[in-house]
């Protein structure tokens, strides 16, 4: 189903209720035959064999996810975002770059979380190679050797390009649809890292900690979800600065008083 094709929902959501979500196509789930049994409470109705998502539950759940992410950022937590599907990769990249977050938009590397020490060494090698190529430090090598380095860098750019600022194991994994990213979700769960995810009606919502049910197949819908999370990250960063300022003032005030 094309993103622009939307059923008339005025009978379900009169007076323009949930207009932002309906305009983004958030309400469109998967085909009824693919619905996971535990998704039944999230389904409002079915039209033309397509599940129509209950937007009230989506709204409630995005508020919970936003509050959680905001608090984690306020306390200095690191969020890693994952979305490798064609309809998600571009939005994930823009979202992560704007907020300076590590991201995966091509392929999840096994052990990215559970084997952080080894992967971090690979990332450092990638950053070093990139820096040396840019500075001209590789000019001392033969042309054939330099071409080899350039090929290696292109390969690493694709795999590690979103991880240059991946300096610590994340405290939150943000995932666009767990279905193609179950390796990453399982790694997070193994380490007790909460998973916030935009999920569709074809998956068990209990595989993640903070599911937000919506249309994971449409770019507009994904952008709506990431836009809400972006607000949470920005507000969390502002709150983190204020918290640090308060802590500093609490230390300085007694010192000043004792003079």
Vertex 60 angle, CA 23 and 177, to 5°:
70
Is the pLDDT assigned to residue 7 strictly greater than 80? Answer: no
Helix (H, G, I), strand (E, B) or coil at 211: strand
9-13, 86-90, 149-153, 160-164: the lowest-pLDDT one: 9-13
Min mean pLDDT across 87-91, 134-138, 179-183, 209-213 is at: 134-138
pLDDT given at position 36: 96
Identify whether the C-beta of residue 236 lies closer than 8 Å to the C-beta of residue 70. yes
Mean pLDDT (the chain) is 90
Q: Is 31 exposed, middle or buried (0-12, 13-18, 19+ CB in 10 A)?
A: middle
Model confidence over 34-48: pLDDT tens digits?
999 999 999 999 999
Return the ∠ at Cα 50 (arms to 44 and 53), rounded to 5°: 30
Ranked by mean pLDDT, the top range of 127-131, 154-158, 213-217, 241-245 is: 213-217
Helix (H) or strand (E) holding 196: strand 195-199
Crossing angle for the helix pair 143-160 and 116-135, to the nearest 10 degrees: 130
Q: Write down the pLDDT at residue 158.
A: 87
Mean pLDDT of 53-81: 96
Mean pLDDT of 7-17: 70
Distance from C-alpha of 114 to C-alpha of 146, rounded to nearest angstrom: 33
Distance CA 139, CA 67 (A): 51
pLDDT at 4 over 50: no
| pLDDT attached to residue 58 | 97
Q: Point out the least confidently predicted range of 49-53, 139-143, 170-174.
A: 139-143
Express each pLDDT in 190-245 by its tens digit.
999 999 999 999 999 999 999 999 999 999 999 999 999 999 999 999 999 998 88
Length of the chain counted residue by residue: 259
| Greater pLDDT, 1 or 101 | 101
> Which strands sit side by side in the sheet containing 103-104, from one edge to the other?
103-104, 79-82, 172-176, 195-199, 210-213
* pLDDT value at residue 46: 93
- Dump the DSSP string for 34-96: G--GGGGGGEEEEETTEEEE-HHHHHHHHHHHHHHHHHHHHTT--EEEE--SHHHHHHHHHHH
pTM score, whole prediction: 0.88
CATH of domain 20-113+169-250: 3.40.50.10490
- Confidence band for 174, pLDDT divided at 50, 70 and 90: very high
Question: How far is the C-alpha of 48 from the C-alpha of 256, rounded, in Å?
Answer: 71
In this predicted structure, the answer to whether residue 248 has a pLDDT above a threshold of 80 is no
Mean pLDDT of 15-32: 90
> Is 3 a residue whose pLDDT tops 50?
no
**78 φ, ψ (degrees, to nearest 5):** -100, 135
Q: List the domain boundaries for the chain.
A: 20-113+169-250, 114-167
Q: To 5 degrees, how large is the angle CA 64–CA 98–CA 185?
A: 50
């Amino acid at each position: 189903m094309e993103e622009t094709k939307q059923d008339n929902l005025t009978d379900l959501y009169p007076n323009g209720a949930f207009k932002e979500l309906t305009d983004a196509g958030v309400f469109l789930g998967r085909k009824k035959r693919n619905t996971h049994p535990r998704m039944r409470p999230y389904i409002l109705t079915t039209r033309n064999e397509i599940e129509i998502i209950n937007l009230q539950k989506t709204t409630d759940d995005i508020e919970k996810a936003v509050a959680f992410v905001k608090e984690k950022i306020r306390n200095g937590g690191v969020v890693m975002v994952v979305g490798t599907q064609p309809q998600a990769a571009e939005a994930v990249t823009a979202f992560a770059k704007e907020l300076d977050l590590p991201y995966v938009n091509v392929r999840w590397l096994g052990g990215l979380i559970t084997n952080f020490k080894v992967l971090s060494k690979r990332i450092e090698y990638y950053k070093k190679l990139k820096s040396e190529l840019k500075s001209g430090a590789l000019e001392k090598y033969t042309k054939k050797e330099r071409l080899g380095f350039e090929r290696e860098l292109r390969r690493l750019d694709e795999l590690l390009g979103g991880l240059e600022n991946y300096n610590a194991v994340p405290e939150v994994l943000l995932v666009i649809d767990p279905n193609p990213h179950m390796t990453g979700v399982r790694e997070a769960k193994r380490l007790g890292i909460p998973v916030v995810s935009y999920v569709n009606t074809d998956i068990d919502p209990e595989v993640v900690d903070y599911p937000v049910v919506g249309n994971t197949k449409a770019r507009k819908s994904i952008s709506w979800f990431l836009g809400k999370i972006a607000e949470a990250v920005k507000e969390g960063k502002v709150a983190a600065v204020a918290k640090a300022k308060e802590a500093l003032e609490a230390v300085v005030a007694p010192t000043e008083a004792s003079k």
